[in-house]
């Protein structure tokens, strides 16, 4: 008969933290559902989905970076670079919108690749490297 090992205290603590967050979220949803007439409406949920898209597009890749022990501060700056380059390529240079989008994305991907290359090849901590490239 195999002996079962007890659940480590750290795992129990994490489960407790997660349970508290789930209960708090459920309580907030219940309170807002009863106090705000249109909170749980389809229109509001669709609107919230549209508003959260950019945050989700940044948060998902950042999750993997944080899990691996890195902190990437350049994400917001590269998003800003993409927006500025899109405007410059479209309005000032006069490129068609699809070409401007493509060029802005390629330039931003190159900036991210540059950061990643320096972090992996020079073995500089991601926090330090992204702080350094923010100054460029």
- Asked if residue 26 has pLDDT above 90, the reply is yes
**What does the pLDDT read at residue 59?**
87
The verdict on 25 and 80 lying in the same domain is no
Whole-angstrom distance, CA of residue 46 vs CA of residue 31? 20
Q: Is residue 117 a part of any domain in this protein? A: yes
What 3 state SS string does 5-23 have?
CCCCHHHHHHHHHHHHHHH
pLDDT of 122 > 60? The answer is yes
Do 21 and 64 belong to one domain? Answer: no
Structure tokens at 37: 């007439």
Mean pLDDT, the chain, whole residue set: 87
Is residue 40 located within the same domain as residue 69? no
Question: What is the number of alpha carbons within 13 Å of residue 43 lying toward its C-beta?
Answer: 2
pLDDT of residue 34 exceeding 60: yes
**Range 22-47 average pLDDT:** 92
Which whole number is the average pLDDT over 16-39?
Answer: 90
> Is the domain of 81 the same as that of 100?
yes
How many independent structural domains does the chain possess? 2
Whether 136 and 83 map to the same domain: the answer is: yes
* pLDDT tens, position by position, 84-99: 999 999 999 999 999 9
Tell me which residue range forms the domain holding 32. 13-51
Same domain, 84 and 132: yes
**Do both 25 and 71 map to the same domain?**
no
Residues 37-82: tens digit of each pLDDT: 888 899 999 999 999 998 888 888 888 888 888 888 888 888 889 9
Q: Contact 56/75 with Cβ under 8 angstroms?
A: no
**Does 3 map to a domain?**
no
Residue 1 has pLDDT above 90, yes or no: no
HEC sequence for the chain: CCCCCCCCHHHHHHHHHHHHHHHHHHHHHHHHHHHCCCCCCHHHHHHHHHHCHHHHHHHHHHHHHHHCCCCCCCHHHHHHHHHHHHHHHHHHCCCCHHHHHHHHHHHHHHHHHHHHHHHHHCCCCHHHHHHHHHCC
Whether residue 72 contacts residue 126, with contact meaning beta carbons closer than 8 Å, is answered with yes
* Residue 8 maps to a domain: no
């Amino acid at each position: 008969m195999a002996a079962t090992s007890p659940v480590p205290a750290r795992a129990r603590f994490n489960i407790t933290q997660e349970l508290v967050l789930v209960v708090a979220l459920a309580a907030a949803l219940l309170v807002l559902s009863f106090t705000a007439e249109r909170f749980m409406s389809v229109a509001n949920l669709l609107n919230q989905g549209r508003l959260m898209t950019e945050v989700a597009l940044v948060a998902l890749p950042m999750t993997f970076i944080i899990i691996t022990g890195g902190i990437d501060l350049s994400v917001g700056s590269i998003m800003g670079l993409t927006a500025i380059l899109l405007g410059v390529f479209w309005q000032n240079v006069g490129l068609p919108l699809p070409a401007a989008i493509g060029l802005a994305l390629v330039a931003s991907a190159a900036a991210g690749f540059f950061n990643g290359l320096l972090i992996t090849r020079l073995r500089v901590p991601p926090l330090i490297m992204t702080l350094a490239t923010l100054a460029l």
